[in-house]
Amino acid sequence: MKANQKKALLIISLVALTATRTDAFSQKPGIDFGKTVSSQKIFMQSKEKDKTIRWINVNTDPGTWTLRKDILVCSGKPIGVMRSELQYENFILHIEWKHIEPGGNSGVFVWSNASPPENTRLPDGVEVQMLELDWVNLNKRDGVTPPVAYVHGELFGVGGVKTVPDNPRGTRSMSFENRCKGRGEWNTYDVVCVDGVIKLSVNGKFVNGINRSTQKKGYLCLESEGAEIHFRNIKIIELPSGITSPEQVAPVIK
């Protein structure tokens, strides 16, 4: 069996396993929004207490992120991110989101250094794009409408991080099928990140991916980029580590 086939089978097996463990998740209010479940709990049924994800503001304002019951609201202003307290290497991320404004722009960065330069305010890593469907209509250039696939979960390396796209649109990977919903409707992303490979499920179907990411361990970052967006049910399952060299790990923030 070829290496790529083995990797695909591993990802499918991990997704199938987690589908039987929905009872492992719960949410807590406050900055510890969402929950992480250790791989020990998944594979060994450990009774170890679950750890929560702590989100830390990087370069946004105190009022950029607020909780309304179980919904995390991002105002979109200023442009910037907040990051997870810990780094993650191999994991499955579940996140639900909806845009409120036409043409809204946001995303989640994985394997990020969470250290944005001043000129861009956004960090490196692999971005999992979250755009409102009208973005393409509101961002025409010289009368040309961008490809509609742009708003259905594109994946791409940023800040010097390189990736190989499954379905190339230049250096980016666009989804094979358009599945995102418009403003006011909840979208569900399941993001499987294993050994430099990412597979993205949009609203219940795997439609996009990248491989050979040059950065394979880092922080999660939620993006504020000009428009209000809501998040809920942010959940992460950590998976066993792989073979990752020091050069493939984002610097630890102290």
Confirm if 64 and 31 have CB atoms less than 8 A apart. Answer: no
* Structure confidence at residue 229 as a pLDDT band (50, 70, 90): very high
DSSP state letters, 177-206: S-----TTS-EEEEEEEETTEEEEEESSSE
Sign of dihedral through CA atoms 190, 191, 192, 198?
positive
Give the model confidence (pLDDT) of 115-172 as tens digits. 999 899 999 999 999 999 999 888 888 888 888 878 999 999 999 999 999 999 999 9
Cis peptide before 78 (omega within 30 of 0): yes
Give the model confidence (pLDDT) of 85-120 as tens digits. 999 999 999 999 999 999 999 999 999 999 999 899
CA pair distance 12, 17, nearest whole angstrom:
9
Long-range Cβ contact pairs of 196-199 (< 8 A, separation 24 or more): 196/248, 197/7, 197/11, 198/110, 198/126, 198/128, 198/155, 198/163, 199/11
- pTM summary value: 0.84
